[in-house]
């Protein structure tokens, strides 16, 4: 490694340390007051997307799947600098008085009509059932799709978005509305709470067929956030435990896209480390874009 590459690598490590420090301070600030504030959710997602693998690379125990670090350290420096600048810009904007007033709006102006929300949810279920059935027919049935699902997930099949939108977006969003209605403090009995849980399960089950963890995790996070603001404020320890459990289940599911005991038993330490910590390749993506930006023809 020549001197310029060594210097760039050192700068990269310093930028990673600065990003981790900024994330740590911002997460600790206001943690007891509101651990599920918009700031904490955004900063946590930042850490998951950009930091874990970057820290491993900076410590020499991880790899850069996008480019070789030694030969492209400057691009990784620019990448981490942009990431850090974006994080700081968000935190500064969040601290503005107008932004704080907006983020404090956590109560509904009035309780939603449970009957109206239920009717909309029934309609969403019909749309989701029809779109899911059409999607499976096009892809050779449930068994045929599950057999070729990894190819579908990685390569994608053009022209099926109108089908996946029905059960992958419409139903989970309307299901969240049912959860919010059921968890509202005013008049929210056990029956409505049970209905909210059932709606969450019904909205998550169809989309789980696609094999994307995020499509399953996001509705759960929205439900927990609704419980936090509409029922009872959760403690930081409870949220931390929830995140750990969610991380473990998501990693287990990522081993073979189904919760099989065999995958849990045979998984090696490198497989677990990749699923748990080393999937945050956002820094690599930015570095690859920066290196190839001159030859992209103006993104055409």
Q: Mind listing the pLDDT tens digit of every residue in the chain (300 residues)?
A: 567 778 888 888 899 899 989 988 888 877 777 888 888 888 888 888 888 778 877 777 766 666 677 777 888 888 889 999 999 999 888 877 555 555 554 555 556 677 788 888 889 889 988 998 888 888 888 888 878 777 777 666 667 778 888 888 888 888 888 888 877 755 556 777 787 888 888 888 888 888 777 788 888 888 888 888 888 888 888 888 888 888 777 777 766 666 566 666 676 666 666 666 666 677 878 888 888 876 555 544
Name the pTM for this structure. 0.72
pLDDT value of residue 264: 64
Domain layout of the chain by residue ranges: 3-105+284-292, 114-233
Q: With beta carbons less than 8 A apart as the criterion, state whether 254 and 275 touch.
A: yes
pLDDT value of residue 22: 92
Which of 70, 64, 74 minimizes the C-alpha distance to 11? 74
Q: Give the C-alpha distances (Å, rounded to integers) separating 257 from 132, 152, 214, 263, 276.
A: 19, 13, 12, 10, 15
């Amino acid at each position: 490694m020549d001197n310029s590459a060594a210097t760039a690598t050192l700068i990269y490590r310093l930028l990673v340390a600065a990003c981790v420090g900024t994330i740590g301070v911002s997460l600790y600030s206001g943690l007891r007051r509101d651990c599920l504030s918009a700031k904490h959710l955004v900063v946590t997602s930042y850490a998951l997307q950009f930091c874990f693998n970057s820290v491993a690379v900076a410590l020499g125990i991880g790899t850069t799947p996008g480019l070789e670090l030694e030969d492209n350290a400057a691009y990784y420096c620019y990448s981490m600098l942009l990431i850090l600048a974006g994080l700081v810009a968000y935190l500064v904007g969040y601290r503005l008085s107008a932004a704080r007033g907006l983020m404090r709006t956590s109560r509904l102006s009035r309780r939603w009509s449970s009957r109206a929300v239920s009717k909309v949810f029934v309609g969403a279920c019909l749309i989701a059932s029809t779109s899911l059935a059409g999607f499976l027919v096009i892809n050779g049935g449930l068994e045929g799709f599950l057999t070729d699902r990894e190819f579908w997930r990685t390569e994608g099949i053009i022209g099926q978005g109108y089908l996946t939108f029905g059960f992958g977006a419409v139903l989970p969003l309307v299901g969240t509305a049912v959860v919010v209605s059921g968890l509202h403090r005013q008049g929210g009995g056990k029956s409505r709470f049970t209905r909210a849980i059932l709606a969450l399960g019904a909205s998550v089950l169809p989309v789980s067929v696609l094999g994307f963890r995020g499509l399953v995790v996001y509705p759960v996070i929205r439900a927990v956030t609704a419980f936090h603001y509409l029922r009872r404020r959760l403690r930081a320890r409870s949220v931390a435990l929830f995140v750990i459990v969610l991380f473990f289940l998501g990693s287990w599911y990522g081993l073979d896209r189904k919760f099989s005991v065999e995958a849990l038993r045979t998984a090696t330490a490198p497989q677990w480390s990749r699923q748990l910590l080393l999937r945050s390749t956002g820094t690599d993506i930015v570095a690859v874009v920066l290196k190839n930006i001159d030859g992209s023809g103006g993104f055409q």
